[in-house]
Structure 1
Amino acid sequence: MQIIRRKAELRDLTRSWRQSGKTIGVVPTMGALHAGHLSLVEAARARCARVIVTLFVNPRQFNNPEDLAKYPRTEESDAAKLAPLDVDVLYLPEPEEIYPEGFATTVSVTGVSDGLCGATRPGHFDGVATVVTKLLLQTDADTAFFGEKDYQQLQVVKRVAADLDLKTEIVGLPTIREEDGLAMSSRNLRLCSEARETAPVIGRVLTSAANVIARGGDLSLALETARQALLAAGFTDIDYLEVRSDPDLAPMAKADRPGRLFVAAWLDGARLIDNVPVLPPTVAARSGEKAVEPV
């Protein structure tokens, strides 16, 4: 695995891959890699001839300087985790490779970025859209792989690629969870042992609410029941808990089309997010499916 820090060097390499007819897959990350990230790398390896993993802690997607300062920097251990996965390049761009002096352009997406994390983290998705656009162009990727845990982010990136005619196909893959059902996240590392035992409640509460809605239960009542269950378990604040249509993420007052149930809640000073699919009762009845398997 080559470690590259300059875009000119990366472009020389990808140009040679192109000349020999190789396809390129990229997994953009901010490091602190866990099994969820590694599952994306494995998917890229299975589909593409060459695989690039990018690692860049993007300051423009943090609206809280303290949150940026606390974000783990684990470059050495991340490289060790990638080494057995047959990754071709770990791209670790220097800040000036992404935001050179005089940088004055922002990629901004409306619609799918409205509400949810877009409301509670102002400017976050502008930072995401801008850095991902740059990384897709710098890596010359045919395919980019993202996890569905950050489902709103996934839809923002898909919108960018479609609207700007980027050649890169954006692939979303299912959330990877711990054995107890907690969605894998670098933020889980911030939890004390007691909070870590509590944290999986978030997935169970979402599953329960989604299945109540799929069986025809009142959406508002299901959400309020879920909210009270989270607070009773020890979550201190809930930024949002709502159902949005899939994939346009428009607000839903009733379950009359496929959607997603989203939550962002605070526990032990960490902001945890999760989401599960929600089938409307008519679709669930026709298919015989549950809204989501238990987590």
Structure 2
Amino acid sequence: MKYFKLFLLVAAVAFFGSCSDDKETQNTNKDVVVEMETPTFSAKEGAGAVKVPIKVTGKTNGNVYVTLAVKEVGNNPAKEDVHYYVTDKTITISDGTGYAEYRAVDDKEINDDRTFEFEIVEAKGATIGAQNSCIVTIKDNDKDPYDRLQGKWKLTGYDNDGKTVSWNVTITEPQKKLADGSDNPSYDYEYGYYLYMSGLLEIPTSSARLNFYYDEGSGQGYVAFDCLGETNLASDLNFGDFTGYIKIANDNIGSTSPLMGNWNSDFDTVTFQPNGGILYAVYDKSDNSLKGYMGKTTGIVLTRK
């Protein structure tokens, strides 16, 4: 069987500007209001960079500049630069919506949820509205195995020549929103039962579905690459002479049995069946014909980063 090498097109966009030519202007229109979009917001501890929305209402003719402050609130307050880090406290809003961004520390310790508050303390180009603050809850993710498996991992294994491969992958829960901003109709069905792994083959847009099972009584569970041969790993890829997509298949061609993995007690290693693996099947998008296999990965082990 012929193997195909994947070619990804990378587009680089360079921006060059002169301060004198592209000087940013501040809104001067009246009746423009800026405020936090919601009074409360929550995200899991291991969610990475989290964006809390800030909204501007009213017609603007320039930018709105917002200065934020944070403070500890609640029974178990989150401390800045200990439990979370704020990306920037000065926000420029040009299109009606801006974001206060923070990143929580994923401490791998079981604790109560922590809270802090974003407050708009100054605005230029707008009046601060009544909803000037938002209480953020950092939800602990170290109690439930479903949550504990989420985050960044190093995947290692062997290719079809027996050489070691290693990729940085990320495991997440199903997305609540689709790419177009609409609600994901499968979210309620999938949450708690499926996880998604991105980063396979070093393709940023790849997404492999993992089945999740946990028996609370026995404390035993597993994750598994499932629906092998059915769901796409990555789409709209440039293979040179055709545009195609990749499906994950069982290393045992013709089998659709899932490839199962078990985690250790510290949830820092997941080891998949050592005698099993996954194949990467390449299809032509124009006629859905199988073009061949890009190779395989066997002896898969995930190690927490």
In which range does the TM-score fall when normalised by the shorter chain?
under 0.3
Larger Rg: 2
More strand by share: 2
More helix by share: 1
> What TM-score do the two structures reach when normalised by structure 2?
0.20
